[in-house]
Amino acid sequence: MSAFLTVIRRDLLLAMRRKNEMLTALFFFVIVVSLFPLGIGPEPQLLKKVAPGVLWVAALLASMLSLNRMFATDYADGTLEQLTLSASPLGLLVAGKIAAHWLTSGLPLVLLAPVLGLQFDLGGEALAVLVAALLLGTPLLSLIGAIGAALTLGVRGGGVLLSLLVLPLYIPALIFGAGAVEAHVAGLAFAGHLSLLAALLVLAIFFAPWATTAALRIALE
């Protein structure tokens, strides 16, 4: 457990020393979301209807941006090899790295999303549902993305390839995440969506670090 926390602390410290990477992804999120009203027109009704989808798709893309840095720098300077040699199980360390990735790329999106939701005329309760859905969904994105990041480690054209691999796997998160908010806006029950999202998250917490570890071992062979 202490190894898990140490990895999180280390990755957070590294992220803090390179704040611009984190902020770039965050501003990317803000800009993409702000582009949509300009593209589809300012009618409040329409914007309210597309808001959940727009926010979610933007969040998917923004969390993609930082994915290929999840292991790349550690791979380049040899830290990753040291991690695989350490006494603690690699799966735990990888889980720590994924958690750190979520804290630096997922959590800021969750905190920023309600502010952007206001631009789309979402009500207070809808914003709460949006935050809850993103809280459940963004860790899922980090977990699935980690598999893709490990698979494309040190591969030609890794960044673009990563999005090709990972985006189709993000679809369930997108559907249930955006669906929860849409259901709330439409006056329907939204708890089912959140439950499914949570179920996916539990599955991913169990399987993703394991698959990521296998992929990392292959990359380091």
Partner 1 sequence: MNNRLIKWFKYASPQSFYPLAGRMIPWFWALAAVFGVIGLWISFFVAPTDAVQGEGYRIIFLHVPASWMSMFIYLVMAGWAGLGLALNTRLSGMMAQALAPTGALMAFISLWTGAFWGKPMWGTWWVWDARLTSELILFFLYIGFIALQAAIDDARRADKAGAILALVGVVNVPIIYFSVKWWNTLHQGASVSLMKSPSMAQTMLWGMLVMALCFWMYSIAVALMRVRAIILERETQTEWVRELPEVKS
Binding site for partner 1 (CB under 8 A): 147, 151-152, 155-158, 161, 164-165, 167-169, 171-172, 175-176, 179, 182-183, 188, 196, 200, 207, 211, 214-215, 218-219, 221
Q: How far is the C-alpha of 143 from the C-alpha of 209, rounded, in Å?
A: 7
Q: Which of 139, 141, 122 is nearest to 54 (CA)?
A: 122
Q: Which is nearer to partner 1, 5 or 171 (CB)?
A: 171
DSSP H helical ranges for 66-157: 69-77, 79-85, 90-101, 107-119, 124-151
Q: Which is nearer to partner 1, 70 or 147 (CB)?
A: 147
Q: Which is nearer to partner 1, 104 or 137 (CB)?
A: 137
Q: How far is the C-alpha of 11 from the C-alpha of 129, rounded, in Å?
A: 30
In whole angstroms, how close is the CB of 170 to partner 1 at the nearest point? 10
In whole angstroms, how close is the CB of 16 to partner 1 at the nearest point? 32
- What are the structure tokens assigned to 127, written together? 């914003």
In whole angstroms, how close is the CB of 221 to partner 1 at the nearest point? 7
Question: Which one-letter amino acid corresponds to residue 90?
Answer: L
In whole angstroms, how close is the CB of 100 to partner 1 at the nearest point? 22
Query: CA-CA distances (angstroms) from residue 210 to 84, 90, 143, 215, 219?
Result: 13, 9, 10, 9, 14
Alpha-carbon torsion angle 147, 68, 137, 34, nearest 10: -150
Q: Which is nearer to partner 1, 28 or 210 (CB)?
A: 210
Q: Which is nearer to partner 1, 15 or 185 (CB)?
A: 185
Q: Which is nearer to partner 1, 26 or 215 (CB)?
A: 215
Residue 201: CB partners within 8 Å, gap ≥ 6? 136, 137, 139, 140, 143
In whole angstroms, how close is the CB of 9 to partner 1 at the nearest point? 29
Residue in the block written with tokens 């992220």: 15
In whole angstroms, how close is the CB of 79 to partner 1 at the nearest point? 20
